[in-house]
Amino acid sequence: MSESPEFFHESQLVSVLTTQPIDRVLDYKAPEGGCFLGAFVEVPLGPRKVLGVVWGAGHGGYDPAKIRSVNRVLDVAPMTHAMREFLIRAGEYTLTPMSVMLRLATRAPGLMDPPSMRRVYQLNDAFEGGKMTPARERVLGVMEDFADAVFTLKELADLAEASTSVIKGLVKLGAVLEVDRPRDMPFRPLDPDFASKDLTDVQADAAVQLVARVQQRAYSTNLLRGVTGSGKTEVYLEAVAETLRQGRQTLVLLPEIALTSEFLTRVVERFGAKPAEWHSGVTMTERRRIWKMVGQGGAQLVIGARSSLYLPFRDLGLIVVDEEHDTSYKQEDGALYNARDMSVLRASIAKASVILASATPSLETWVNAESGKYHKITMTDRFGPAVMPDMSAIDMRQEKLPSDRWVSSDLVAHIKARMLKGEQSMLFINRRGYAPITLCRACGHQIGCKTCDARMVEHRFLNRLMCHQCGETEPMPDTCENCGVEGRLAPVGPGVERLAEEAKALFPDAKIAVLSSDLFSSARSLKAAIAEIANGDIDIIIGTQLVAKGHNFPNLTLVGVIDADLGLQGSDLRAVERTFQLMRQVAGRAGRSEKPGAAYLQTYQPEHPVIRAILGGEEEAFWNAEAAERQAAQVPPFGRLAAIIISAPEAERAFDLGNHLLRNAGPLQAIGAQIFGPAPAPIARVRSRFRVRMLIKAEKSAPLQRALAQWIAPVTLKGDLRLSVDIDPQSFL
């Protein structure tokens, strides 16, 4: 393929990759005027017109008379070699078909629309002067006030409080120019030297190292490890500045949309203008604009969720993965990929630098940094007077709480003391909803989802029961579906809403905010709530893991974890690692400015080694012990895992395919891989489909993907049967 010419003349055969589920490229004739390799094109496919990319020379071998022509080349920048290489390699790594990869890379609406223009108005600098009226002067005044701006007719009329005919009059007079401009405009340039902060010595040292990496214009991955509040963001913004100076582009990945507004503010303060912002809350027209501008170089910095990794950067120089350990970087639906790992792949192809920033890196990254594969930069102190919070355990075995209460008397006393000082407290519980179980006191029945093997969770704010697997909701019933007895259904166990209820009873005078992802209808309302907390208008924050991530609440000085043992119960490979990270992250919310903070973990197992490691803050010892265990078990990052998930409406059909694969596992045996299963998934039924899992374990150096591809290639999925491959699985449910 690399021998393909760069340009194809009219009628020459080209092969085109489309977004349609066809697992090969299709031959077409190059359109009138020819086309470049990588050009985005519209091609006819049956009766339809579909999006495609010119992927190489045509293969030929068909009747030339039957080969159709490319309809037209789209008015967007062609796909770069680096992007194409990235899509191929990422597709190979995750065993994702190329058509799906192309769909990931073209997730913007209207790419096939003809370029649309809009009529705008701007000042004519060459205007000599002519008859003025008060209305005309208002219009010109507005235009002078916003010197670089362009206006639509309506915007200008509204701002100047003048009728549109006044503006038209000015056009006739020659004072104002009426021009047609493309609708998708470049982003305002960012100034790398707009306003940088004075860095501390430790920060400056870290920044110098990162800037040097960027200057090399070569691939490198750098772990920027620093306690929460040490100034990691300030430091990596210096690397962004250097990338701006080079004229190359930067992508900053954030794990949570709610974090973007705080980050945008910091970018504006540092570089004097807003970057492009890419996530599910962005409008469709803005998505198209970003996609196009990233491709043309009209966007220097993109702040985005994981899917922004597939934007068509023209010259990507730096990728920052903030909170790199965060599990939301793993896409668990559709194409299964880990944005952190794919960032490293993309950077290695684009000759770019990667900065993985975290206070609690993933074990994978920690191991890579220890072995010297990644550069490691460490910042151990918080910025300014802030210090890490004191952490201690509250032994819940000593507390004799009634079964519907969860806040210990110690914690209550601590919170009251903070309220007297006018400081904020946070209660953390990693459970959405009101109560995880709804139980019938008459017959003992627990309400479950109709289509999943999962309990329905009461959400009292919504006054409904919800399944956290499939999202289905139903009204809260009065009678038990099992025994028909009325009025005996009772909530069991705590969720964030129930904890809020307890807090309201305990602290009737407190202003309480509840932060849980399902309580906000939009990213905007969530941002507003976070701003309110940051301003200090709230006394007690009650939150799920949404609050653990990166927020900066200056007045927050106490964190109470309601159930520190919750994460330790799973059999998940990373349960211990996750608990450690989550507890350290949550605790890190406290005491981020002058006032010192404290964190209390309520636990029934205060002597559990993980709880002790969290309290002691002996991170190196913890990671070493965790790494040794994984090494002994030969699991990631010391060995490789892949999961096969097969699902069907009937369990039997899913098992049949699993057993068939097990009997025909030659390609896996050839690389010495072990196969576990097929076995029912821990959540065996989701949306009325039975799920069967297989786990493949191989040595680190084994060519696992190639073997997997050979192994599943002969499978044809009939009817409702589905099979997905999850490389480096994070979830084992």
Q: Which residues bind Zn ion (CB under 5 A)?
A: 449, 452, 467, 469-470, 472
In the shown chain, the binding pattern of residues 430 to 459 toward ligand ADP, with x for contact by CB under 6 A and - for none, equals ------------------------------
User: Chain centroid to CA 318: how far?
Assistant: 17
DSSP, collapsed to helix, strand or coil, labels residue 580 as: helix
The token pair at 660 is 């068939």
Out of Zn ion, ligand ADP, none, which partner does residue 449 contact, by CB within 5 to 8 A per kind? Zn ion
Out of Zn ion, ligand ADP, none, which partner does residue 452 contact, by CB within 5 to 8 A per kind? Zn ion
- In angstroms, give the least distance from the CB of 470 to Zn ion: 3
Out of Zn ion, ligand ADP, none, which partner does residue 197 contact, by CB within 5 to 8 A per kind? ligand ADP
Q: Binding to ligand ADP by residue 331, rule CB under 6 A?
A: no
Q: Which of 226, 436, 567, 639 binds ligand ADP (CB under 6 A)?
A: 226
CA triplet 202, 208, 214: central angle to 5 degrees?
140
Among 193-201, 456-464, 687-695, 697-705, the segment contacting ligand ADP (CB under 6 A)? 193-201
Among 114-122, 192-200, 439-447, 644-652, the segment contacting ligand ADP (CB under 6 A)? 192-200
- In angstroms, give the least distance from the CB of 688 to Zn ion: 9
Q: Which of 457, 477, 476 is nearest to 468 (CA)?
A: 457
Neighbours of 273 (CB within 10 A): 14
Q: Binding to ligand ADP by residue 549, rule CB under 6 A?
A: no
Among 28-36, 215-223, 230-238, 303-311, the segment contacting ligand ADP (CB under 6 A)? 230-238
State which residue, 178 or 472, has the beta carbon closest to Zn ion: 472
Out of Zn ion, ligand ADP, none, which partner does residue 4 contact, by CB within 5 to 8 A per kind? none
In the shown chain, the binding pattern of residues 198 to 217 toward ligand ADP, with x for contact by CB under 6 A and - for none, equals xxx--x--------------
Burial classification of residue 195, based on how many CB atoms lie within 10 Å of its CB (0-12 exposed, 13-18 middle, 19 or more buried): exposed
Out of Zn ion, ligand ADP, none, which partner does residue 647 contact, by CB within 5 to 8 A per kind? none
Out of ligand ADP, Zn ion, none, which partner does residue 232 contact, by CB within 5 to 8 A per kind? ligand ADP
State which residue, 229 or 677, has the beta carbon closest to ligand ADP: 229
User: Chain centroid to CA 39: how far?
Assistant: 29
Q: Binding to ligand ADP by residue 230, rule CB under 6 A?
A: yes
Q: Binding to ligand ADP by residue 361, rule CB under 6 A?
A: no
CA triplet 397, 403, 404: central angle to 5 degrees?
125
Out of ligand ADP, Zn ion, none, which partner does residue 230 contact, by CB within 5 to 8 A per kind? ligand ADP
Out of ligand ADP, Zn ion, none, which partner does residue 226 contact, by CB within 5 to 8 A per kind? ligand ADP
What b/e readout covers 374-392, taking b as 16+ CB neighbours within 10 angstroms? bbbbebebbbeebbbbebe
Out of Zn ion, ligand ADP, none, which partner does residue 26 contact, by CB within 5 to 8 A per kind? none
- In angstroms, give the least distance from the CB of 688 to ligand ADP: 44
State which residue, 99 or 581, has the beta carbon closest to ligand ADP: 581
CA distance 374 to 354: 10
State which residue, 378 or 688, has the beta carbon closest to Zn ion: 688
Where in 376-395 is the site for ligand ADP (CB under 6 A)?
Answer: 383
CA distances from 493 to 213, 438, 613 (A): 50, 9, 27
State which residue, 320 or 723, has the beta carbon closest to ligand ADP: 320
What is the DSSP track for 215-267? HTTS-EEEEEEE-TTS-HHHHHHHHHHHHHHTT-EEEEE-S-GGGHHHHHHHH
CA distance 209 to 449: 53
Q: Binding to ligand ADP by residue 197, rule CB under 6 A?
A: yes
Q: Which long-range contacts (CB under 8 A, 24 or more apart) does 157-161 make?
A: 160/135
Burial classification of residue 223, based on how many CB atoms lie within 10 Å of its CB (0-12 exposed, 13-18 middle, 19 or more buried): buried
State which residue, 232 or 498, has the beta carbon closest to ligand ADP: 232
- In angstroms, give the least distance from the CB of 502 to Zn ion: 28
State which residue, 236 or 507, has the beta carbon closest to ligand ADP: 236
State which residue, 339 or 686, has the beta carbon closest to Zn ion: 686
Q: Which of 15, 99, 228, 647 binds ligand ADP (CB under 6 A)?
A: 228
Q: Tell the residue number behind the tokens 């479950």, with chain if given.
A: 448
Q: Binding to ligand ADP by residue 324, rule CB under 6 A?
A: no
- In angstroms, give the least distance from the CB of 544 to ligand ADP: 20
291 within 8 A of 108, measured Cβ to Cβ: yes
DSSP, collapsed to helix, strand or coil, labels residue 595 as: coil
- In angstroms, give the least distance from the CB of 457 to Zn ion: 10
The token pair at 406 is 């969860």
CA distances from 640 to 371, 631, 702, 704, 728 (A): 18, 11, 8, 8, 7
State which residue, 341 or 458, has the beta carbon closest to Zn ion: 458
Q: Which of 683, 217, 198 is nearest to 455 (CA)?
A: 683
What is the DSSP track for 306-342? GGGGGS--SSEEEEEEETTT-GGGB--SSS--BHHHH
State which residue, 226 or 678, has the beta carbon closest to ligand ADP: 226
Among 53-61, 67-75, 194-202, 290-298, the segment contacting ligand ADP (CB under 6 A)? 194-202
Q: What is the CA radius of gyration of the chain?
A: 29
Out of ligand ADP, Zn ion, none, which partner does residue 76 contact, by CB within 5 to 8 A per kind? none
Out of ligand ADP, Zn ion, none, which partner does residue 470 contact, by CB within 5 to 8 A per kind? Zn ion
State which residue, 124 or 469, has the beta carbon closest to Zn ion: 469
8-state DSSP, 539: S
CA distance 97 to 110: 23
What b/e readout covers 494-514, taking b as 16+ CB neighbours within 10 angstroms? bbbbbbbbbbeebbeebebbb
Alpha helices in 21-94 (DSSP H): 81-94
- In angstroms, give the least distance from the CB of 265 to Zn ion: 39
With contacts defined by CB under 6 A, how many residues of the chain interact with ligand ADP?
15
State which residue, 329 or 383, has the beta carbon closest to ligand ADP: 383
Q: Binding to ligand ADP by residue 196, rule CB under 6 A?
A: no
For the chain, helix (H) and strand (E) counts, in that order, are: 20, 31
State which residue, 262 or 395, has the beta carbon closest to ligand ADP: 262
337 within 8 A of 597, measured Cβ to Cβ: no
Q: Which of 427, 396, 418, 388 is nearest to 616 (CA)?
A: 388
The partner residues of 120 in beta bridges, in order of sequence, read 179
The token pair at 479 is 């009678």
Q: Binding to ligand ADP by residue 597, rule CB under 6 A?
A: no
Q: Which of 71, 552, 705, 731 binds ligand ADP (CB under 6 A)?
A: 552
Q: Binding to ligand ADP by residue 229, rule CB under 6 A?
A: yes
Q: Binding to ligand ADP by residue 231, rule CB under 6 A?
A: yes
345 within 8 A of 321, measured Cβ to Cβ: no
State which residue, 231 or 389, has the beta carbon closest to ligand ADP: 231
Q: Which of 233, 250, 353, 557 binds ligand ADP (CB under 6 A)?
A: 233
- In angstroms, give the least distance from the CB of 554 to ligand ADP: 8
Angle between helices 153-160 and 134-145 (to 10 degrees): 110
Binding site for ligand ADP (CB under 6 A): 197-200, 203, 226, 228-234, 383, 552
